[in-house]
Chain A
Amino acid sequence: MSQWLWLIPGTPLLGSLIILFLGSLLRRKHLAMVACCASAAAFLVVVLAWLTEATSQPLQQTLYTWVAVGEWRPMFGFTLDRLALVMVSIVSSVGLLVHLYSVPFMAEEADQRRYYFFLNLFLAGMLLLVLADNLLLLYLGWELVGLCSYALIGFWYRDPPCSNAGRKAFIVTRIGDTALALGIFLLFSQFHELSLSALLTNATTQWEKGSTLATLATLLILGGAVGKSAQLPLQVWLPDAMLGPSPVSALIHAATMVTAGVYLIARTHPLFELAPHTQWLVAAIGALTIVYGASAAVAQSDFKKVLAYSTISQIGYMFLALGCGAYAIALFHLTTHAFFKALLFLSAGAVIRASGDEHDINSLGKIGNHPSIARWTFLIGAASLAGVPFITAGFYSKDAILVTAWSAPTGPLLWIFAAFGALLTAIYIFRVYFLVFHGSGPRTSTISLPYFMSLPLLILALLSIVSGFIELPEGWPGPHLWSLWLADELAVATFPPLTITYTLQFITALLPLAGFSLALWLIQREQAYQSLPLANFLRSGWGFDAFYYAMLVRPYLALARILQAGESKEGITYIVVRPYRALARGVSDAVETLLIEGALTRITRGFLAFATFCRKGVEYKMLEAGITSLVAALRFSYTILSTTQNGFLSRYALVISTGAVFFLGYWLW
């Protein structure tokens, strides 16, 4: 199996290349087919990996050395251990489902070649990121998915907001990526090694717990993760990214790419164990982001933006778990979240598409007549997101995070944030559900979804319910397959004593129900036109955009404009060119005026002009006059000097010979 690892990212890459080069020969339908086949092939290889020895021992494959300079030797090499296997399975399965869903969803679009090219390329990049066995290859995948995200957010590029959103996403994540790059440089300069496994072993043996270098390295890596996973303070790009097609939002901006940060931290967790401060920071960022995302989601009126803020908030849960050292549980939530959030996006996409690209939730409620499959699957997704007890996957994963957060340093505080977030989660998602599906429009549906759209919805709905049962909460009888299976690679989470655990679980189970009723109350208020307190503040995402615009974008542009003004005035030319001219002219002019033209008239004229300048200088204000007279004086002297360049050949010859005579005379006497 080892030698076939490259097929996992290779097949989607091949698909995208076929679409790129042969796409003009294929019909639209066949383009979609090629893309689906490529992603299905990747999924198939992953399934084969499950069936063969991949589960028992990590697989390795090295293709070739990418760059070889001294010790900087990143390989094109893959590692498939259990952590990677989990990620690969999620990416390829959700990827396949989204590809299938795209076939009818994008059928009317003109430029499918571009869409499927980038979708396949995204899959390749994401799988590469997950499988990479060294940091530089990981960075390649990291940037590749960023590129595809940029291109797909801006898929409808004729709309300026769309391409703006794409650009914003690219730039903001690039800021994080640069931190990651610096982290790579730091690790390289310390260990002269890029391979992940060697780096991690070296770090654990050479660095002490809490050392400055470890803290710095983890902070830089965290910067990368925060950018990609849209956590505070780099979360601003994700809400805008919703302008892309819905399947893209489902795949890239909910299920896979945005969780790359979580994967990165889980992958480098030995480093984070060495830096408790950073680890606490991860948890704190997570907790804050939970509340940030959930509170902003409550006030949104755009259907997809609610889900975007919800994604930000849910990834906050994963960060919280990572910060508490519960990597397996973070990964567990990543998995269930991938299923239910993809489901929510896909069913939302179906609703939006059926209502003629209407994004506003109130208007959607008035239109009504939503496809019934979309409605039921959305409800299942919403229940799972809110964590409705016992029957949904979201309950099991979120409950585990809440419980484990309690035992972390400053745990109760983190727990309060997370629990408050859980309450808000239930509020916003049920608010959306009721506003859209129980609005004033007709409830019965006359629209049926195509088979390729309903099948992924049903599969994801099923997964959003059953995927929770593989890991029952702490202290319950029943299987704990997930954490046991990952225990070799990821440390087991710590839980508080059983009595506290049960209490916490009880509270967690109550939160969705409380949220449900609060949502109903909120809708009543809204229908009575009583807006939420702070609604505008929350809707704008706590004003982060305006803040960044004023603090970063504006000054940057202003600086550029100032420099540009300096350039166009040719300040530097003045230093170099003008003296050059002046020197040349001065020399020839001195000879010229004194010898030939007769200096007297010149000097008189010069004095007269100078007197005029002086008179004017008295009349004008001091500052202005100073500048203008300086310029005028320069120009004036230039005028006089330039008369020496009169084009008369004989005059030039005369000047030259006079000069020669002078020099000779100087030398001889």
Chain B
Amino acid sequence: MIPLSHSLIIAALLFVLGLAVVLLRRELLFILIGLEVMLNGVALTAIAAGQYWGNADGQVLVIMLLTVTAAEVVVALILVWLAFDHYKAVRVETLTHLRDDTDRSTS
């Protein structure tokens, strides 16, 4: 029987690792990978909590999460590919179309 704190620490580590990847890497694909790692951290918490309380909900949630993640990855990969297709870019610095510069020209 693994104590709850152990699995929680692992989960937190996974989450922070993923976050670090998201924040530090500049390639879209790596950011995606980072997101997945973060999700896995969350899933681990759910399993651990479920085991701790003796409740199956945690495992149900993880299975749900896996399904959703699979779909989400598909969509995200398509988006990455489309971004590459349109802008010939995989690095996030170049994708700054949401920048607000419409009004600045008038000032």
Contact = CB atoms under 8 A, between A and B. Distances in A.
Chain A complexes with chain B: yes
Nearest to B34: A653
A612 to B, nearest CB: 14
Contacts of A645: 98-100
Given A639-B107, A647-B95, A653 B22 contact: yes
B103 A650 contact: no
Contact of B92 (A635, A639, A648): A648
B19 A657 contact: yes
B96 A642 contact: no
Interface centre among A639, A645, A647, by most chain B C-beta atoms within 10 angstroms, is A647
B93 to A, nearest CB: 7
Given A657-B19, A657-B23, A649 B95 contact: yes
Contacts of B31: 649-650
B96 A648 contact: yes
A653 B23 contact: yes
A527 interface: no
B57 to A, nearest CB: 23
Interface in B55-77: none
A642 B93 contact: no
B64 to A, nearest CB: 23
B107 A638 contact: yes
Interface string B12-56: 000000010011101000010000000000000000000000000
A636 B104 CA distance: 10
DSSP class of B's interface residues: helix, strand, loop or mixed?
A: loop
A647 B23 contact: no
B92 to A, nearest CB: 4
B107 A646 contact: no
Interface string A392-435: 00000000000000000000000000000000000000000000
A603 interface: no
B21 to A, nearest CB: 11
A642 B104 contact: yes
A647 B107 contact: no
Contacts of A657: 19, 23
A627 interface: no
User: Size class of A's contact patch?
Assistant: 10 to 19
Contact of A650 (B26, B98, B100): B26
A1 interface: no
Among A638, A639, A646, A650, chain B packs the most CB atoms within 10 A around the CB of: A650
Nearest to A661: B19
Contact of B99 (A636, A639, A646, A650): A646
Interface string B73-104: 00000000000000000001101111111011
B55 to A, nearest CB: 24
Contacts of B22: 650, 653
A660 to B, nearest CB: 9
A649 B97 CA distance: 10
A653 B32 CA distance: 13
Contact of A647 (B24, B26, B97, B103): B97
Given A648-B92, A649-B31, A657-B23, A642 B98 contact: no
Given A653-B23, A654-B23, A648 B93 contact: yes
Contacts of B24: 650
A639 B92 CA distance: 24
Contact of B104 (A639, A650, A653): A639
A639 B102 CA distance: 11
A639 B84 CA distance: 31
Interface in A627-641: 635-636, 638-639
Given A647-B98, A648-B96, 11 more contacts: A635-B107, A638-B103, A638-B107, A642-B103, A645-B99, A645-B100, A647-B96, A649-B92, A650-B22, A650-B92, A657-B19
18 contacts: A635-B107, A642-B100, A642-B103, A642-B104, A646-B96, A646-B99, A647-B97, A647-B99, A648-B93, A648-B96, A649-B31, A649-B95, A650-B22, A650-B23, A650-B26, A650-B31, A653-B23, A657-B19
